[in-house]
Structure 1
Amino acid sequence: MLTRRAFVAAAVTVGAFPSLAVGHPVTLPDKYLPQLVNTGRKDWEAGSLHVLPDDFFLFFMLQDGLAIRYGVGVGRKGLYTAGTFTVGRKAKWPRWRPTDAMIRREPHKYARFKDGVAGGPNNPLGARALYLYNDAGRDTYLRIHGTNEPGTIGSAVSNGCARLTNEHVKDLYDRVEIGARVELHPKVATA
């Protein structure tokens, strides 16, 4: 449960969000910039994350239905997996390796990375990653991570993960605790 101090700190930080909009060369639509919103969802517990794929939003829940809303990119058609997960691990400038399924699906794009890519600004996971685990404690290979392609925010382009700009994922990373619940809500739209 978020303490009052953490809530006040989050609210104060929200006032500084304009600085989060200048960390990359792409100008995002205002709706995808982090902002404090009232979700009206008192059943979403403080500290949890909710991804609404049709709207391209991730909500980090505060208290009493308030949340910090971030714009995200999500998994493209057939690759988005809805469900409830737990943040099992966090990493700064994480190492990345495409999954075997990614390599099989698009060898021309991913086979050259089969040995992995060191963390850094050119890494597809970006500046930070939250690793999503299932209820049995196993890594699902789903991530909430940064991207070095901020123009993909607001679209369905990934191999299943939710991506934020590197500046926005740094902010989110500092707020999320290991063990936080993550709900990747089902897609409703058919397109």
Structure 2
Amino acid sequence: MFADENRNVRPAEIQEDVSREDIVSAFRQAMVGHFRSHIPGTNINESTLLASDYLNHFHELVMLLEALSSEPQGFTDDLLSWRPLTYEEHFSQSGFRDKNLAIAAYRRAPPKIRARFDEAVARLHGEALTLVASVGAALMDRDKDLDKTCNKAAAQLRVLIEEANAIANGEIASERGDSDIGGQAAIDALFGNR
């Protein structure tokens, strides 16, 4: 019976004038809907499709800097071996319950939001590496102001982490110029005005 029904359908009736872009858009919407249906109960934001848990990687660096200021001998090797991980590397190596979903959702995140998040993370990576190098140099020089250097580095990272976290949680408008609060906070932190 089913075979008979299929014989009555002609390929010309199935095919419509649909552009490739329309098909891609429909597929993207279906995938986003699919991810959102699995997101409740996870730490993945339903509108951005990003998991702020990724930023724990940078929170660990902040904690290292804070611990290093009081106990340099115990944490120097950990600090000097720290390296930034990409979003996918972090979740691949983590014990995050929904890591495969987090990676798949990240790949399907709205392009403008993901671009802003990736830019914020790139700033975090660059600043983190710069700060690790400067704190490492202070350790080698046995800088008397190590505590101040570590606290300033931690404060600078916190500002950038907050900016990336706001993007991941959909708290910052997706277009530049809508809000420059994070940029001013970063400048204030660099000059110790936070």
Scaled by the length of structure 2, what TM-score is found?
Answer: 0.25
Larger Cα-atom Rg: 2
